[in-house]
Structure 1
Amino acid sequence: MNIASGWKKPTAGIALLAAAALTASCSSGNAATGNAGASKATTSATPQAPTITISPAEGSAKVSPDKKIVITASGGTLDEITVQAGTSDDEITGTYNADKTRWVSKGTLKPSTGYTVSAKSGVTTATSAFTTIKPERELQVADVTPNAKGETLGVGAPIIVTFNQPVTQKAAIERALSVKAEKPVKGAWRWINDTVVIYRTATYWPAHQKVTFTADIEGVKAGKGTYGVKDYTANLKIGAKVISKVDTKKHMMYVYKDGKRVQTMRISAGMATTREYTTTSGVHLTMERGNPVRMISPGRKKGDPGYYDVMINHAVRISNSGEYVHAKDNVWAQGVRNVSHGCVNARPDQARWFYSTMQRGDVVDITGTDRELEWNNGWGFWQMPFSQWKKGSAL
């Protein structure tokens, strides 16, 4: 029985009796099993509104672009979040934890940019405006080779990326680089120096496909005071599988396209009287072409023995040590003797055909000499085993 129920104006006697009963109950040795008729006092409080915390806090300046935006809610869940960069329409995305009380941004922030953050939890809203740091040095992709407009590449082609600033935090930048192919094949990056990194596949690219290179470097720290300021994308096209095999002992060159022989050429290679005049053996790649190309004997001046200064037609470069596949009218030697200064020369009409059909990155595999092509001589990257190549990665 609730002694207070239904009583508005109790008489004095009854009120005193009730007071006595309550006093007896409260003084019992076991409060949990005391007078069953005792009442329990109850109160009702207004629920507190959720609180929201945003980091970086309002007014923060010189925020590092690799810092994450973190929003937390106490006493409620996060209902709405908006993060806007400067005056652009780009919004930063992020992920929630399981109970939606915490949100963390994805990726990096843009350098030299003001950000506005707003969040809502129940009836509570919060905002924060902050600015990211201006880099001392701005990192960008200066060049990707080979990547001429409309160019089709050979199956041996590397992806050579050159930056405009030295990169000391190479692992961070390398993580921001990606290569996606329609016909995927294993590959790895190798840093040549602080500004150049090269991607090479473990085996030749599968022919006839598209490859996309992406550098998501905006906001990535590349070194002290150095941050990426602009992303970069290159769409590459891999063409037919063109493999040329040169046998300097038999003085022959065979060209295969997608597995089918399409050209047989009598050639003359380096005379091999000196190392300089010896054609290098190994896997070469076609690098560039010119018609004509001026060729001058290295390390000699006019009047010296062996000096030459000539213009050569339909020349395709295959190394940095002066080797080309080019036209030459000494057909008497082609297929018979090696008489060149190190280049592979062929009949003018066939050299013109090779010049016209080559793709940068086509394979020219030369055998028969005792001078090996160095892996860093031109695009001789296939001379290095892939197991060794990938050790040049920063990851």
Structure 2
Amino acid sequence: MTSRFPRRRTAALCIASAAVMVAASACSTAPSEGDLANEEPTVAKAQVTITPEDGGTEVRPDSPIVVSADNGTITDVQVEQSLSEGETGQSEAAQDEAAQGETDESMTGAYNDDKTEWVSEWTLHPGSDVTVTAVAENKEGTSTEVISEFSTVPPVEGQRLEIKSINVEPDSTVGVGMPVIVDFDMPVQNKAQVEAAMEVSSEKPAQGAWNWFGDKRAVFRPEEYWEPHQKVTVNLNLAGVAASEGVWGIENREFEFEVGRSQITTIDENAHHMTVERDGQTIKEFPVSLGKANVRKYTTTSGTHLTMAFHTDYRMSNDTLGVSKDDPEYYEEYVDYAVRISNSGEFLHTADWNYQLGEANTSHGCINMSVADSRWFYEESLRGDPVDITGTDRELPVDNGWGFWQRSAQEWISQSATGEADDTTEPGTPGSPHHQQ
């Protein structure tokens, strides 16, 4: 009898163990099809590609930086440039622009519509180490960061394009006709790329373009005179632009100037009369005497001149025209006030010896004025004020001084290397400064 109890207990224990096993297996049962339908799938991370690729050497500085993203959108691109070790051939301005370890604020770029691609707008400093850091996010907001480090071709001695001079002084106030003249130290063959690297921006709407006078001078002017009372900014993003084969720009430069009031002077040769208008209102009139025109070189040029330079106690002589001291026509005078309007020796200046002001043209090509009138004009004028002269049969050449307004607006635009007008209130320029494949 007693031998039966152990066997029954054993049987009960086996049943209990089975129940535990069933419960355990119930907790790890595979999910049903309905459960799978409710589970969110994993979203792939954004994939980012940067060109030029990481580790590149001897990269052309005018190669565009291109960042592209798959499975996401680009949220940030940063470009840092520093001079390569041992690279000392750049100017101080270029070295300031490519300061060690600083983000290059001038390296802006443009996104496509869906922000899956970013392309740099300007070129890179030659002879620099470049770090591009790009970030993209997938639709869940998960970020992917990619870095590309590469170096650009260094400039070669004797093949560095630099700015020799600019006619506009930074932060100066100028007249409404003021052009921007950039003179280079070397010839430029790739004019369209160089034009595209030079951005002019204005606060008020304007359409403008660059024209070239020879291979070393580029001139920007709007189609019409600048609107008065506004700021104009010039960004010369020339570092890394290929001026010609193997010749790289090595510096960027930025400056601003103010366009002042509108002052336009008109001079009638036949009436011996001069009128000054300011902001559309006549403010002053003067009797004057122009060139006597007995020979061509003593004929005042007609057309739109600009005031270029201002002098006091200035030596005037026709020896600059090749007239010797033995010639009866030779003269030498020191005048109280003189305002240059061409490179062929034309000035508005004091002529206290001329007793026929307002009556006859007796000068050697300049505009003669009284002491008081010439002083007023000297003190009230800005560089870049237009001076329109009419009535003579000798036209001012477009390349004589700042005679750039002698070209019509249509002709000025068509003679730019890009062939397009630049809207100065919009970012960027016509064309591209990058290497053309």
TM-score by length of 1: 0.78
Report the CA distance between 1:85 and its aligned residue.
2.8
The CA distance in 1 between the partners of 2:269 and 2:116, in whole Å, is 72
Report the CA distance between 1:51 and its aligned residue.
8.8
Residue number in structure 1 paired with 2:278 = 257
Q: CA, structure 1 residues 214+332, in 2 after alignment: closer, same or farther (shift >3 Å)?
A: same
Residue number in structure 2 paired with 1:289 = 310
Residue number in structure 2 paired with 1:139 = 161
Q: Does the Cα contact within 8 Å between 2:354 and 2:368 map onto a contact in 1?
A: no
Residue number in structure 1 paired with 2:57 = 61
Report the CA distance between 1:139 and its aligned residue.
2.5
Report the CA distance between 1:346 and its aligned residue.
0.9
Show CA shifts across 1:190-228 (max 9, x none): 011211111122111111111111112222222111222
3-state SS of 1:314 partner: strand
Larger mean CA deviation between 326-335 and 359-368 belongs to 326-335
Q: CA, structure 1 residues 172+354, in 2 after alignment: closer, same or farther (shift >3 Å)?
A: same
- The code of the aligned residue for 1:305 comes to P
Q: CA, structure 1 residues 117+182, in 2 after alignment: closer, same or farther (shift >3 Å)?
A: closer
Residue number in structure 2 paired with 1:4 = none
The CA distance in 1 between the partners of 2:282 and 2:332, in whole Å, is 35
Counterparts of 1:228-243 in structure 2, within 5 Å, are: 228-243=249-264
State whether structure 2 residue 329 is matched by structure 1 residue 306.
Answer: yes
> Please, which of 82, 88, 100 is the counterpart of residue 101 of structure 2?
88
The CA distance in 2 between the partners of 1:293 and 1:103, in whole Å, is 56
Report the CA distance between 1:312 and its aligned residue.
1.9
The CA distance in 2 between the partners of 1:254 and 1:213, in whole Å, is 32
- The code of the aligned residue for 1:133 comes to V
Counterparts of 1:61-210 in structure 2, within 5 Å, are: 61-69=57-65, 84-86=80-82, 87-90=100-103, 107-116=122-131, 128-136=148-156, 137-145=159-167, 147-210=168-231
The CA distance in 2 between the partners of 1:101 and 1:248, in whole Å, is 63
Report the CA distance between 1:140 and its aligned residue.
3.2
Show CA shifts across 1:333-380 (max 9, x none): 111111111111111011011011111111111112222222221111
- Gap runs ≥5 in structure 2: 1-43, 83-99, 137-141, 419-437
Report the CA distance between 1:394 and its aligned residue.
0.6
Report the CA distance between 1:149 and its aligned residue.
4.8
State whether structure 2 residue 269 is matched by structure 1 residue 273.
Answer: no
The CA distance in 1 between the partners of 2:75 and 2:261, in whole Å, is 54
3-state SS of 1:360 partner: coil
> Please, which of 193, 205, 226 is the counterpart of residue 247 of structure 2?
226
- Count matched residues: 348
Query: How large is the Cα RMSD of the aligned pairs?
Result: 3.2
Residue number in structure 2 paired with 1:26 = none
Residue number in structure 2 paired with 1:377 = 400
Q: Does the Cα contact within 8 Å between 1:70 and 1:105 map onto a contact in 2?
A: yes
Larger mean CA deviation between 128-137 and 262-271 belongs to 128-137
- The code of the aligned residue for 1:199 comes to F
3-state SS of 2:405 partner: helix
- Gap runs ≥5 in structure 1: 1-47
Q: CA, structure 1 residues 50+215, in 2 after alignment: closer, same or farther (shift >3 Å)?
A: closer
The CA distance in 2 between the partners of 1:207 and 1:125, in whole Å, is 47
3-state SS of 1:198 partner: strand
The CA distance in 2 between the partners of 1:311 and 1:221, in whole Å, is 47
3-state SS of 1:199 partner: strand
Report the CA distance between 1:179 and its aligned residue.
1.5
Q: CA, structure 1 residues 167+246, in 2 after alignment: closer, same or farther (shift >3 Å)?
A: same
Report the CA distance between 1:273 and its aligned residue.
0.9
Residue number in structure 1 paired with 2:341 = 318
Q: Percent identity?
A: 42
Q: Does the Cα contact within 8 Å between 2:169 and 2:257 map onto a contact in 1?
A: no
The CA distance in 2 between the partners of 1:267 and 1:197, in whole Å, is 35
Larger mean CA deviation between 56-65 and 204-213 belongs to 56-65
- The code of the aligned residue for 1:292 comes to D
Q: CA, structure 1 residues 94+318, in 2 after alignment: closer, same or farther (shift >3 Å)?
A: closer
Report the CA distance between 1:117 and its aligned residue.
5.2
Larger radius of gyration: 1
Larger RCO, structure (CA 8 Å, separation 6 or more): 2
Report the CA distance between 1:130 and its aligned residue.
2.4
Report the CA distance between 1:176 and its aligned residue.
1.4
Q: Does the Cα contact within 8 Å between 1:141 and 1:232 map onto a contact in 2?
A: no
Q: CA, structure 1 residues 117+278, in 2 after alignment: closer, same or farther (shift >3 Å)?
A: closer
Show CA shifts across 1:216-249 (max 9, x none): 2222222111222222112111111111111121
- The code of the aligned residue for 1:63 comes to V
- The code of the aligned residue for 2:324 comes to K
More helix by share: 2
- The code of the aligned residue for 2:160 comes to E
3-state SS of 1:353 partner: helix
Q: Does the Cα contact within 8 Å between 1:116 and 1:128 map onto a contact in 2?
A: yes
The CA distance in 2 between the partners of 1:283 and 1:98, in whole Å, is 45
3-state SS of 1:322 partner: coil
3-state SS of 2:348 partner: strand
Show CA shifts across 1:270-328 (max 9, x none): 11111111111111111111112212211121112211222222010111111110111
Q: CA, structure 1 residues 325+233, in 2 after alignment: closer, same or farther (shift >3 Å)?
A: same
- The code of the aligned residue for 2:62 comes to D
- The code of the aligned residue for 2:165 comes to D
